[in-house]
Amino acid sequence: RVCDFTGEPHGKEGQQSRWVKVTSLNASDFPEANVPIINALQ
Protein backbone atom coordinates (compact mmCIF):
# COMPACT_ATOMS: atom_id res chain seq x y z
CA ARG A 1 0.00 0.00 0.00
CA VAL A 2 1.31 3.42 -0.91
CA CYS A 3 0.90 5.80 2.02
CA ASP A 4 2.90 8.75 0.74
CA PHE A 5 4.06 9.84 -2.69
CA THR A 6 5.42 13.05 -4.15
CA GLY A 7 5.88 13.94 -7.79
CA GLU A 8 4.13 12.58 -10.82
CA PRO A 9 4.08 8.83 -11.56
CA HIS A 10 5.52 7.89 -14.93
CA GLY A 11 6.52 4.75 -16.78
CA LYS A 12 10.28 4.32 -17.16
CA GLU A 13 9.80 2.68 -20.56
CA GLY A 14 7.11 4.96 -21.97
CA GLN A 15 4.12 3.00 -20.65
CA GLN A 16 1.10 4.80 -19.25
CA SER A 17 0.53 4.88 -15.50
CA ARG A 18 -2.24 6.15 -13.27
CA TRP A 19 -3.48 5.74 -9.71
CA VAL A 20 -6.64 3.64 -9.38
CA LYS A 21 -8.60 2.11 -6.53
CA VAL A 22 -7.87 -1.57 -5.94
CA THR A 23 -11.57 -2.33 -6.30
CA SER A 24 -11.54 -0.98 -9.86
CA LEU A 25 -8.78 -3.34 -11.03
CA ASN A 26 -10.02 -5.95 -13.48
CA ALA A 27 -7.76 -9.01 -13.53
CA SER A 28 -8.62 -9.65 -17.19
CA ASP A 29 -6.91 -6.35 -18.11
CA PHE A 30 -3.53 -7.65 -16.91
CA PRO A 31 -1.14 -10.40 -18.04
CA GLU A 32 -2.14 -13.82 -16.73
CA ALA A 33 0.85 -13.92 -14.37
CA ASN A 34 -0.52 -10.85 -12.55
CA VAL A 35 -3.99 -12.32 -11.88
CA PRO A 36 -3.05 -13.91 -8.51
CA ILE A 37 -1.58 -10.58 -7.37
CA ILE A 38 -4.70 -8.64 -8.41
CA ASN A 39 -6.92 -11.21 -6.68
CA ALA A 40 -4.84 -11.03 -3.48
CA LEU A 41 -5.07 -7.23 -3.43
CA GLN A 42 -8.84 -7.31 -3.71
pLDDT digits (tens, 9 = 90+) for 1-42: 889 889 887 888 988 887 888 888 887 788 899 889 888 988
Whether 23 and 12 have beta carbons less than 8 Å apart is answered as no
Q: How far apart are CA 23 and CA 12, in angstroms?
A: 25
Q: What is the pLDDT of residue 33?
A: 92
> Hey, what amino acid is at 27?
A
- How far is it, in rounded angstroms, from Cα 17 to Cα 15? 7
Give the closest residue to 26 by CA, choosing from 42, 14, 9, 15.
Answer: 42
| pLDDT confidence of residue 19 | 82
